[in-house]
Amino acid sequence: MNLDDFSDLIERPDGGVRHDAEERRERLSVPPGALGRLDELGEWLSAAQQSVPVRAVERPRVVLFAGDHGVAELGVSGRAAGSAYELVRAALDGASPVAVLARRFSVPLRIVDAGLDCDPQLLPESVVRHRVRRGSGRIDVEDSLSAEEAERAVRLGMAIADEEADSGTDLVVLGDLSVGGTTAAATLVAALCGTDASVVTGRGGAGIDDLAWMRKCAAIRDALRRARPVLGDQVELLATSGGADLAAITGFLLQSAVRRMPVILDGVVSAACALVAQRAAFRAPDWWLAGQVSGEPAQTKALDRMALTPLLDHGVTVGEGSGALLALPLVQAAAALAAELPERAPKTADGPQDAEEAAAAEPAAPGPADTPAKAVDGL
Catalytic residues: 320
Q: How far is CA 208 from CA 178, 214, 288, 292, in A?
A: 15, 10, 30, 21
Q: Which of 293, 241, 239, 255 is nearest to 271 (CA)?
A: 293
* Conformational region of residue 261, where left means phi above 0, alpha means psi within -120 to 50, and beta covers everything else: beta
Q: Which DSSP symbol is given to 354?
A: S
Instruction: Report the C-alpha gap between 100 and 43 in whole angstroms.
Output: 30
Instruction: Report the C-alpha gap between 222 and 204 in whole angstroms.
Output: 18
Q: Which DSSP symbol is given to 374?
A: P
Q: Where are the beta strands (DSSP E) in 163-308?
A: 171-179, 263-265, 288-290
Respond yes or no on whether the N-terminal peptide bond of residue 60 is cis (omega within 30° of 0).
Answer: no
Q: Which residues contact 280 (CB under 8 A, 6 or more apart)?
A: 3, 4, 6, 7, 234, 254
Looking at the DSSP bridge assignments, the partners of residue 290 are: 265
Strand order across the beta sheet in which 171-179 lies: 109-115, 60-68, 171-179, 263-265, 288-290
Q: Where are the beta strands (DSSP E) in the chain?
A: 60-68, 109-115, 171-179, 263-265, 288-290
**Do residues 64 and 110 lie in contact, with contact meaning Cβ atoms separated by under 8 Å?**
yes
**Do residues 59 and 172 lie in contact, with contact meaning Cβ atoms separated by under 8 Å?**
no
